[in-house]
Amino acid sequence: MDRAAGAPPPRAPLGPAAVHRQSPGSPPEKTREGVAGRAATAARCRSSQGPEGPDLRPGRWSMTAHRPAVEPGPRYVKGHCGGDGFLLLLDPGNRVALTEDAIRGLCHPRTGLGGDGLLRLTAAGPGKGSARPRGEWFVDCRDADGSHSLACGPGAGFVARYLTVAGLAGPGALWIGTRAGDQRVTVDAKGRTTVEMPTPLVLGTAGVTADGQSFPGTLVSLGALHLVCVIDTPVSYLDFTKEPQPDTAAFPKAVGVLVPSADMVFVNVLPRGSLRVRAYRPGAGEIRAGGAAACAAAAAVQHAAGRRETTVVENVTGPLTVALDASAVTLLTGSAGVAAEGVLDARWLAAL
């Protein structure tokens, strides 16, 4: 029968005669056998999937040689609060050995899981008399370099958020034990947390040279020192290729203040009074401007204005609200969330 005009040519029968012979060195081309093979593979894959996706039960997955990639170790949770990112180690019995090297490895963004700090969550001790804890939980706060921190407001906020998500506590106020004492945290139904922060202390002034410009700054202590510079240049324009140089000779030699190092915080005051912030840490480079930087920036701006009030600070995790009151504690309010929960590799952790 004659083929109608415009109709496709008849298919060649599959078999050796249908295999296209390629010249040596030529790129591979699609063949009917290759198409048929891929179709068969796809059919086999579909047959191993249920209505909700791949069937990963033993013996049903195509990777029959699969074995666990880790030796089960401590459980962890990853998330954020108050603009800071944390790793939370779930260790109710306080049995996991943690060295400074292990903490640095865990918090490293490329070789570990990444985080601004590590929090170990344990059951609170019984205590005696006035030392009896108000809450059921205790958090050991560690900085990303492995050093101890007496307390961490955003860290306690993240712990409280995890406890509510996990069903171990309900929304509202709860107490989290720290090395500095019990810390009160409030979590609302939407996951926003309000935590108590150290009262900022304004200690004087010092200058800093950054991106070829000289800026005056205000020294603010929240235990660690911050040099806050309120500038007209958009903070996003600053080039930190060359490390900013603070005038450390002007830093105070006060008890409880870490000197001569200070985080440098560059601030723009936006038309509606909110703040936009970038932060730089000597030796570490630009860092995410978290809860402490937000409080230091708000304190410096309010000190210059001569009044205490509530300031909103922009943050990648959502706006942070800093409420400063000379007769009350400083309150930091912001979003908190749990991003992941998993199991650490015991062998990897032991090798750090």
Kindly report the CATH number that applies to the domain delimited by 72-196+338-347. 3.10.310.10
Is a pLDDT exceeding 80 seen at residue 245?
yes
Three-state SS at 282:
coil
Domain ranges for the chain: 72-196+338-347, 201-328
Q: What is the pLDDT of residue 52?
A: 53
Q: What is the 3-state secondary structure (H, E, C) of 85-112?
A: EEEEEECCCCCCCCCHHHHHHHHCCCCC
d(CA 232, CA 219): 19
d(CA 174, CA 157): 10
Q: What is the pLDDT of residue 139?
A: 94
Pick the residue with more confidence: 326 or 246?
246
Q: What is the pLDDT of residue 160?
A: 95
Identity of the highest mean pLDDT range in 12-26, 258-272, 275-289? 275-289
Give residue-wise pLDDT tens across range 119-149. Answer: 999 988 765 555 556 778 999 999 998 988 8
Give residue-wise pLDDT tens across range 47-82. Answer: 444 455 555 555 555 555 556 778 899 999 999 998
pTM for the model stands at 0.74
The model's confidence at residue 21, banded by pLDDT at 50, 70 and 90, is very low
Residue 271 preceded by cis peptide, ω within 30: no
Residue 332: strand pairing partners: 195, 322
Q: What is the pLDDT of residue 340?
A: 96
Residue 75: strand pairing partners: 90, 343
8 A C-beta contact, residue 135 and residue 175: yes
Q: Considering only CA atoms, which of 206, 319, 185, 302 is closest in space to residue 263?
A: 206
Percent of the chain's residues with pLDDT above 90: 53
Is a pLDDT exceeding 80 seen at residue 154?
yes
Q: What is the pLDDT of residue 19?
A: 39
Lowest-pLDDT choice from 21-35, 145-159, 176-190: 21-35
Other Cβ atoms less than 10 A from the Cβ of 224: the count is: 19
8 A C-beta contact, residue 267 and residue 232: no
Q: What is the pLDDT of residue 47?
A: 47
- Average pLDDT rounded to a whole number, residues 86-111: 93
Is a pLDDT exceeding 70 seen at residue 7?
no
Residue 229 tokens, joined: 């510079």
Kindly report the CATH number that applies to the domain delimited by 201-328. 3.10.310.10
The model's confidence at residue 343, banded by pLDDT at 50, 70 and 90, is very high
User: What letter would DSSP give residue 243?
Assistant: P
- Give me the chain's average pLDDT, please: 82
Pick the residue with more confidence: 279 or 50?
279
Q: What is the pLDDT of residue 261?
A: 74
8 A C-beta contact, residue 288 and residue 114: no
